[in-house]
Amino acid sequence: MVHGDITAMEVDAIVNAANSSLLGGGGVDGAIHRAGGPDILAECREIRAEHGRCRPGDAVVTGAGRLPARWVIHTVGPIWSAEQADEHDRTLASAYRRSLEEADRIGARTVAFPNVSTGVYGFPKRRAAGVAIAAVRGYTSGATGIETVVFVCFGRGNFDLYTEMGCAS
């Protein structure tokens, strides 16, 4: 786990907390497109033209443009509402799992995640941390080529949470 900006991470793949349109936005999505440059959006448009919107819980892969990473895995987390808490847990877990499946498919060995859905999408941070850590631990306990998964916490709150939940920094 690190406390910082995912766009600076020197890993094979960074994960973007995108929206279903794949056409960019604010938060980490905006930061990745700003730092990575227009090539990322161009590839997102191609994916969108060919496969349509990215469903919540799914993930797609593009190059990383000017970023130090080699790929960007764009995943879409759930927009939080307390009425559908359990369903949102499952969708968030799926976003992490599908991102790791895509990482294995492209042969990425090191993967960095932001705290998906905990910003604009309003997912409670502690609940999201539990879902994220369980999903990653569950996936990486099975057959995978992934060697390292990094949780990149931009905000202090998430960093303290992941520390409290036993993630090594």
Q: Which residues bind ligand APR (CB under 6 A)?
A: 5-7, 17-19, 25-31, 77, 114-121, 152, 154-155, 158
User: Least CB distance from residue 91 to ligand APR, whole Å?
Assistant: 11
- Measured from the CB atom, the residue of 5 and 39 that comes closer to ligand APR is 5
Annotate 67-104 with b (16+ C-beta within 10 A) or e (fewer).
bebbbbbbbbbbebeeeeeeebbebbbbbbbbbbebbe
Of residues 5 and 101, the one with the C-beta less far from ligand APR: 5
Residue 60: both structure tokens together:
């797609």
CA angle 129, 135, 4 (to 5 degrees): 45
Give the shortest CB-95-to-ligand APR separation in angstroms: 9
In 3D, which of 120, 115, 122, 41 has the Cα closest to residue 85?
A: 122
The residue from 29, 58, 89, 160 that is catalytic is 29
Q: Residue 9 Cβ, how far from ligand APR at the closest point, in Å?
A: 8
Alpha-carbon distance 76 to 9, whole Å? 20
Kindly state the smallest distance separating residue 59's Cβ from ligand APR, in Å. 13
Q: Which is nearer to ligand APR, 25 or 63 (CB)?
A: 25
Report how far apart, in Å, the C-alpha atoms of 152 and of each of 4, 16, 82 are. Answer: 6, 11, 25
Q: What distance in Å separates the CA atoms of residue 52 and residue 163, rounded to the nearest whole number?
A: 38
Active site residue 86: no
- Cβ distance to ligand APR smaller for residue 94 or 158: 158
By annotation, the residues acting in catalysis are: 29
